[in-house]
Amino acid sequence: MMRAEIRLGGNGGQGIILAAKVLAEAAGIYAGLNVVQSQIYGAAARGELSKADVIIDDGDIYTLEISSADLLLCLSQEAYDHFKNELKPEGKLVLDEFYVKDYDQLDKRFLAFPISQMSKDLAGSEMFSNMISVGILTVVGGYFSEEHALKAVEKNVPKNFLDMNLKAVQMGFEEAKKKLKKNC
Amino acid sequence: MAKIELMSGNDVAVKAAIIAGCTFYGGYPITPSSEIAEGMAKALPPVKGKFIQMEDEIAGIGAAIGASLTGAKSMTATSGPGFSLKQEHIGYAVMGEIPIVIVNVMRGGPSTGMPTYPAQADVMQARWGTHGDHEIIALMPCSVQETFKLTIEAFNLAEQYRVPVILLTDEIIAHMREKVEIKEKNEYKIINRLKPTVDPENYNPFDTKHGMVPPLAPYGEGYRFHITGLTHDHTGFPTSKPDLVEKLQERLRDKILKNRKEFDWYEERMVEDADIVVFAYGATARSAMRAIKDARRENIKAGLYRPITMWPFAYDNIRKIAKTAKQILVVEMNLGQGLGEVERGVAGTKCKVKFLGKANGELITPTEILSKIREVSNV
């Protein structure tokens, strides 16, 4: 039985809820797994700590909340400080080293990417950090295929921005693959 | 062809309402039900329906009641304190026998309480929030898929029995996204209210010649009749004659109670040989499903009874369980609202009732339920 708990943490405005929705659709609709997606509801205003969860399972999902994640994304220092202890011992931590400066370098579970810088290089803004993250999490998690992720992006982003979003996700795929290779 | 979509409970309630034939929404947005208002505002115009955001909660349900009397399938949605404000009009809909659907997404209370946190705090408000002797139908989903199904059923029951029906959901089910299968509209059984076959001049809105549920004429088609919150006779005009009032009260009760077997919805898991049966509903039942599986792994014979039709309460179902199970463990996100009803159900049997309740804005976890199962099973 496979159950995977993914937590996305960042600041309001970084687009993590959309990223969580994309991951959930990739797993639930396109890979045919069961999925529950939820988020902190209410006052996650721009700049404040924000969280979105995705639970993936090949069976029925009864436990609706994440106690400790298999895969944790931290796009901000605050998210890291807040959620770092809610990661399984064998879990994986993806962090944006552009914003998360102060982290445990000895923690073998982390994979650092300059996610926001990558987005700036790609489009001159940090707007695509969330989709780069989707690409990275797809590869690092391995719960569904790259194609599933691309389909889910297509369904969820505005048409005018589709090309850039797809590029961002692909950038995430590539960087994650490079990093995983290096780590092996 | 069926479509699989990833949707939240609130979004799917909108989808289901439209499939059920809803053409009117009157309401006032309130967390955590606001997405229903937002969704209906988008979904109604394309089906030539009307969405009105009223000045407050009371006016919201008032508008829904008025629209229903013109023949529209009508809906409102709210949460905790908003549900409190709607109670007077819920009573009016009971007395006037006006079909409407009220979705109440439960949140922490009393008063404004905890707007963004889950609770199951309105179980008793749904039952007795409006005054006077009355029966009420309340349905409780435990998943997004079931929210879809029960929203359609809520409309069906409202239309069939000329009653307000409450869909009692919670913040967790309302906001989480899950996969939902949605079929073509014509694959669902949709019930429409009975319309009169008599001429307008011979029509009486509370005529019970043909059964406990009188046909309801829509205003605007030439049928002129009176609706009142006062006790009334078959013409709809007020009466306080004890014999007529008694007949009315009994019929309002009986049309629901005597038909309850038609919508006696519940789920049982591993109850047959269970020593301990968990009684849980809504999001809490999901945790309980996990907990009883884990308990079985520890050789504790645990089962689950999940009421889907919460009101009228199925005392008989509880009594049946009480004959075989040693204990029933009531688990709910409140301080014991379903507990008393379960105790009534087991009365006179040897079955013991235990309780695990929480009203602090946190979902009760499978681990907490398992610990309680162990504790009361003396393991």
- What the block records as the tokens of A45 is 């205003």
Q: Residues B356, B369: contact at Cβ < 8 Å?
A: yes
Q: Do domains B3-187 and B267-376 have the same CATH topology?
A: yes
Q: Does B332 touch chain A (CB under 8 A)?
A: no
Burial class (CB in 10 A: 0-12, 13-18, 19+), B125: buried
**pLDDT tens, position by position, B16-52:** 999 999 999 999 999 999 999 999 999 999 999 999 9
Domain ranges in chain B?
Answer: 3-187, 267-376
pLDDT at A46 over 70: no
- Nearest by CB to B366, which of A36, A60, A62? A62
Residues of chain A with Cβ-Cβ distance to B171 below 8 Å are 41
pLDDT in the model for residue A184: 63
Q: Does B363 touch chain A (CB under 8 A)?
A: yes
Can you give the pTM of this predicted structure? 0.96
Contact A42 B31 (CB under 8 A): yes
Question: Looking at residue A13, what DSSP letter applies?
Answer: T
Residues of chain A with Cβ-Cβ distance to B10 below 8 Å are none
Q: Does B364 touch chain A (CB under 8 A)?
A: no
Using CA atoms, how far apart are residues B100 and B208, in angstroms rounded to an integer? 21
Q: How many CA atoms lie within 13 A of A144 on its CB side?
A: 29
Cβ count near B262 (within 10 Å) = 10
pLDDT in the model for residue B1: 73
A30, A36, A51, best to mutate vs chain B, most B CBs in 10 Å: A36
The second-level CATH assignment, the architecture, of B3-187 is 3-Layer(aba) Sandwich (3.40)
ipTM of this complex = 0.93
Residues of chain B with Cβ-Cβ distance to A29 below 8 Å are 4-6, 179
Residue A183 pLDDT class (50, 70, 90 cuts): confident
Residue A182 pLDDT class (50, 70, 90 cuts): confident
Task: Calculate the average pLDDT of chain B.
Answer: 97
Q: Does B171 touch chain A (CB under 8 A)?
A: yes
Residue B378 pLDDT class (50, 70, 90 cuts): confident
**pLDDT tens, position by position, B148-167:** 999 999 999 999 999 999 99
3-state secondary structure chain B: CCEEEEEEHHHHHHHHHHHHCEEEEEECCCCCCHHHHHHHHHHCHHHCCEEEECCCHHHHHHHHHHHHHCCCEEEEEECHHHHHHHHHHHHHHHHHCCCEEEEEEEEECCCCCEEEEECCCCHHHHHHCCCCCCCCEEECCCCHHHHHHHHHHHHHHHHHHCCEEEEEEEHHHHHCEEEEEECCHHHCCCCCCCCCCCCHHHCCCCCCCCCCCCCCCCCCCCCCCCCCCCCECCCCCECCCHHHHHHHHHHHHHHHHCCHHHHCCEEEECCCCCCEEEECCHHHHHHHHHHHHHHHHCCCCEEEEEECEEECCCHHHHHHHHHHCCEEEEEECCCCCCHHHHHHHHCCCCCEEEEEECCCCCCCCHHHHHHHHHHHCCC
Distances (CA, A) of B211 to B68, B166, B246, B254: 21, 24, 17, 11
**pLDDT tens, position by position, B63-73:** 999 999 999 99
**pLDDT tens, position by position, B168-204:** 999 999 999 999 999 999 999 999 999 999 999 999 9
Residue A32 sits at the vertex; the CA angle it makes with A30 and A37, to the nearest 5 degrees, is 85
Beta-carbon contacts of A26 under 8 Å, excluding residues fewer than 6 positions away, are: A138, A144, A148, A149, A151, A152
pLDDT at A39 over 90: no
Domain hosting residue A178, numbered range: 3-183
Q: How many CA atoms lie within 13 A of A14 on its CB side?
A: 30
Using CA atoms, how far apart are residues A7 and A72, in angstroms rounded to an integer? 5
pLDDT at A42 over 70: no
Residues of chain B with Cβ-Cβ distance to A28 below 8 Å are 4, 6, 178-179
Residue B363 sits at the vertex; the CA angle it makes with B362 and B364, to the nearest 5 degrees, is 110
Residues of chain A with Cβ-Cβ distance to B4 below 8 Å are 28-29
pLDDT at B234 over 60: yes
Contact A64 B115 (CB under 8 A): no
**pLDDT tens, position by position, A161-180:** 999 999 999 999 999 999 99
Which among B244, B210, B213, B193 is positioned nearest to B70, based on CA atoms?
Answer: B193
- What the block records as the tokens of B155 is 């409309």
Mean pLDDT over B252-257 rounds to 98
Which among B358, B317, B315 is positioned nearest to B335, based on CA atoms?
Answer: B358
Using CA atoms, how far apart are residues B179 and A94, in angstroms rounded to an integer? 27
B267-376 CATH fold = Rossmann fold (3.40.50)
Task: Calculate the average pLDDT of chain A.
Answer: 94
Q: Torsion angle, CA of A17/A19/A20/A25, rounded to 10 degrees?
A: 130
Contact A36 B283 (CB under 8 A): no
Q: What are phi and psi of B337, to 5 degrees?
A: -80, -35
Residue A45 pLDDT class (50, 70, 90 cuts): low
Using CA atoms, how far apart are residues B329 and B276, in angstroms rounded to an integer? 7
Place of tokens 């809820």: A17
Identity at A64, one-letter amino acid code: L
Beta-carbon contacts of B42 under 8 Å, excluding residues fewer than 6 positions away, are: none
Using CA atoms, how far apart are residues B7 and B2, in angstroms rounded to an integer? 15
pLDDT in the model for residue A62: 96
CATH number (domain holding residue A94): 3.40.920.10
